[in-house]
Structure 1
Amino acid sequence: MNYRKLGKSGLRVSEISLGSWLTYGSSVEKETAIRCIDKAYELGINFFDTANVYARGESEKVVGEALRKYPRESYVLATKVFFPMGDGPNDRGLSRKHIIEQCNASLKRLGVDYIDLYQCHRFDPETPLDETLQALDDLVTQGKVLYVGVSEWTAVQINDALHLADKNGYDRIISNQPVYNMFNRYIEESVLPLCEREGVGQIVFSPLAQGLLTGKYKPGQPVPQGSRAANPEQKMFIERYLTENNLQKAAQLEKIAAEAGMPLANLALAWILRQPGVSSAIIGASRPAQIEQNVKASGVKLTPDLLQAIDEVLES
């Protein structure tokens, strides 16, 4: 496993990291989830990402329990705050009240004394940015949080937060967690250039386009039984990717991957990691074998000819 700096901070994270969205605490049984986390740790993954809202806190409990057997300093634990955790008017967003209360609740569920990376799960237009940043800075000062980040913020929002932090002496954002894959490249236009300039690392999610870039979905064929697209609770997240055009492109990319001697998923992950501004790619896994395969993408360098062949497919 190779490791990269998270932005311009001193924190080093594994190029491949493990997430728990749509899996741990809900669709994947607890014992299987723990086996996946154990396998990830064994293979050198040191960055584990979750969020308070995943299965309404149950994901944090599973992740915390699985990691408890390992030395706390040996892994980087990330969670998030923003989405509703109750029905009350203050049970959501990035107000000081919600941030502080949810940080304390996450610490309890995870069973740890501090969170390595605490992330704003989305931007909150209803709360002054200064209030949000000051609350996060207070958590850092208290030692409950070591670093702060955001997820799916625009370049303008990230830039505003950095300037406000510099102006008021708040702890600076070191990471952004956006969606990024071969079929969703929006961050390349403005988010990546800004963040590379400002030292904000990208921890990208959905690197395999919700499973489209694993090769399991074929043009003109029904979705496989047991796949995410066949799950009534999860299919909404992948359906937007399953267009005939995308399926055809995925089939062409699978041929390119085979000629390069690797599975499509590893080609897709290596393609993401070609970006110097990307610190880590978050994979999801329902079986330890998936992790064993995906970690092989770490350290893979794609040749210029291979990158050109990929671009020709994606731009067609």
Structure 2
Amino acid sequence: MAEMEHRPLGRTGRTVSVLGLGCASYWAKPRFSEARARAVLAAALEAGITVLDTGASYANGHAEQRLARLLRELGADPNALLIGTKAGSIRNSQGRLVKDFSPRTVTAQVRESLDRLGLERLPLLQLHGPTTADLTDDLLTALERLRTDGLVDLLGINGDPAVIRHATGRAPFDVFMPFVSVMRPDNVPLMQAAADAGQGVLVGEPLGRMAFAPPLAHWLTRPSGMWYLARALRHGPAPLLRARALRPALQAPGWTPAELALAWVLEKPGVSSAVFGTTSPDHVTGLAKAAARPLPDTARTAIARVLKS
């Protein structure tokens, strides 16, 4: 396998692997076996992936705990990795996820995440889906204090275009995680703007939740597939219609649709790393190989034709 490419993370002074592993979603669910999760993480480390993304709210903290435990078992050096977590999503008294970006809650979540991850300092803390109104002066001051106190290194935002656009070029944010894929191409300009401002970009959901690849029967016969189907349907039928139109375009000899979709993202300006989630070690290996290959011209042309229609 070719050596994993590394790119600068904005002007942070750090470089990161062009691929990152999302340690969340179905990977974080207790019913997803520890052995399988370990195999996925092992494949990522073997491929040279250095970006690991998780969050305090994923599976009620189970994702962070599992990640820390498996990294210890695999003998990985946390100092060689960019381990990122997120704050701002909590469960209310009814057990439902809600947003709370008060300085008190964010600070408490950081301390809890440090404990679960077994770290003294978080390499990256991202606000998890804030609005522009959530970015109060008190919150920004609290974030800077976390950095000054040595609890956090880099600060970022994982969220929708409006809040990323608002925070581009503004302190204290070093990194953004917008959602960009063949399913969400309209967010490509966000990455270029952030890069121009010296901020790093970790692309979220670069495979578009694989809506373009599996047939409905595949989703309905696998527990993880049911989870992804529910996520895809959350935004109505439009994403599935786009996915259907993209399927013929995401075809090339020697490539899977997912590999082509990833290559499309990686060639876009401003991308530091594309963070994907998977439950398959073989998927990790295949994507790592694809990351070292240029997108075929025929696929690029076909995808562009669909996206312009």
TM score, norm. by length of structure 1: 0.85
Q: Gaps (5+ residues) in structure 1?
A: 166-171
Q: Structure 1 residues 142 and 286, CA, compared in 2 at 3 Å: closer, same or farther?
A: same
Conserved 8 A contact 2:219-2:228: no
* CA distance in 2: counterparts of 1:217 and 1:115, whole angstroms: 39
Q: Structure 1 residues 211 and 70, CA, compared in 2 at 3 Å: closer, same or farther?
A: same
Corresponding residue of 2:152: 145
Q: Structure 1 residues 314 and 129, CA, compared in 2 at 3 Å: closer, same or farther?
A: same
Q: Secondary structure at the match of 1:4?
A: strand
Conserved 8 A contact 2:68-2:117: yes
**Residue type of the alignment partner of 2:61:** G
* CA distance in 2: counterparts of 1:23 and 1:185, whole angstroms: 24
Corresponding residue of 1:97: 104
Q: What's the C-alpha RMSD, in Å, of the aligned pairs?
A: 2.5
Mapped pair 1:40 → 2:44: yes
* CA distance in 2: counterparts of 1:174 and 1:95, whole angstroms: 20
Corresponding residue of 1:195: 194
Corresponding residue of 1:62: 66
Q: Secondary structure at the match of 1:23?
A: helix
**Residue type of the alignment partner of 2:263:** A
Q: Structure 1 residues 47 and 156, CA, compared in 2 at 3 Å: closer, same or farther?
A: closer
Deviations 1:184-239 (A, max 9, x none): 123134x23421221222211221121224x3227xx674511644x2x5432122
Mapped pair 1:225 → 2:221: yes
Q: Structure 2 residue aligned with 1:114, among 121, 132, 144? A: 121
**Residue type of the alignment partner of 2:140:** L
Deviations 1:110-142 (A, max 9, x none): 111111110001225564522122111111112
Conserved 8 A contact 1:2-1:15: yes
Corresponding residue of 2:272: 279
**Residue type of the alignment partner of 1:238:** A
* CA distance in 1: counterparts of 2:238 and 2:66, whole angstroms: 31
Q: Structure 1 residue aligned with 2:21, among 6, 18, 21? A: 18
Q: Gaps (5+ residues) in structure 2?
A: none
Deviations 1:214-273 (A, max 9, x none): x3227xx674511644x2x54321224686633432331233x23xx3111111001000
* CA distance in 1: counterparts of 2:164 and 2:275, whole angstroms: 23
Pairs aligned (count): 298
* CA distance in 1: counterparts of 2:143 and 2:239, whole angstroms: 40
* CA distance in 2: counterparts of 1:208 and 1:193, whole angstroms: 19
Deviations 1:149-188 (A, max 9, x none): 101143565545744x3xxxxxx31211121110112313
* CA distance in 2: counterparts of 1:94 and 1:282, whole angstroms: 24
Q: Secondary structure at the match of 2:28?
A: coil
**Residue type of the alignment partner of 1:217:** P
